[in-house]
Structure 1
Amino acid sequence: MQLPPEAEAAIRAHAREEYPHECCGALLGREEEEVRVVEQVIRLANERTDERERRFYVSPQQVLMAERQARKAGLLLLGFYHSHPDQPPIPSAYDREHALPFYSYPIVSVKQGEPTELRSWRLREDRSGYEEEAILTPRAE
Structure 2
Amino acid sequence: MIVITEKQYRDILEHSKKTYPNESCGLLGGIIENETRYVKKVYMLTNMDNSPEHFSMDPGEQFGAVKDMRSNGWLMLGNFHSHPESPARPSEEDKRLAFDPNASYMIISLLDEENIVIKSFNIKGDQIFEEKLITVSE
Same-fold call, TM cutoff 0.5: yes
8 Å Cα contact 2:9/2:135 also seen in 1? no
Q: Secondary structure at the match of 2:135?
A: coil
> CA distance change for structure 1 residues 139 and 22 in 2, over 3 Å: closer, same or farther?
closer
Deviation digits for residues 100-137 of structure 1 (CA, Å, limit 9, x no counterpart): 2121011111136566011001112xx12311111012
Q: Give how far 1:65 is off.
A: 2.7
Structure 1 stretch displaced more, 8-17 or 128-137: 128-137
What is the CA deviation profile of residues 12-58 of structure 1, one whole-angstrom value per residue up to 9, with x for unaligned ones?
00000000000000111100111000010111111126xx1110112
Q: Report what 1:103 is aligned to.
A: 103
Structure 1 segments unaligned to the other structure (5+ residues): none
Structure 2: gaps of 5 or more residues: none
Distance, in Å, in 2 between the alignment partners of 1:90 and 1:15 is: 16
Q: Is the 8 A contact 2:45 2:62 kept in 1?
A: no
Task: Using structure 2 for the length normalisation, give the TM-score.
Answer: 0.89
- Partner residue of 2:134? 136
Counterpart of 2:4 in structure 1 is 3
Comparing 102-111 and 6-15, the one that deviates more: 102-111
2:15 aligned partner: 14
Q: State the percentage of identical aligned residues.
A: 32
Residue matched to 2:72? 73
In structure 2, the partner of 1:32 is 33
Work out the CA distance in 2 between the residues paired with 1:58 and 1:103.
16
State the distance in 2 between where 1:93 and 1:111 align: 18
Letter in structure 1 aligned against 2:123: L
TM-score under structure 1 normalisation?
Answer: 0.87
| Aligned partner of residue 136 in structure 1, secondary structure | strand
Q: Is the 8 A contact 1:27 1:79 kept in 2?
A: yes
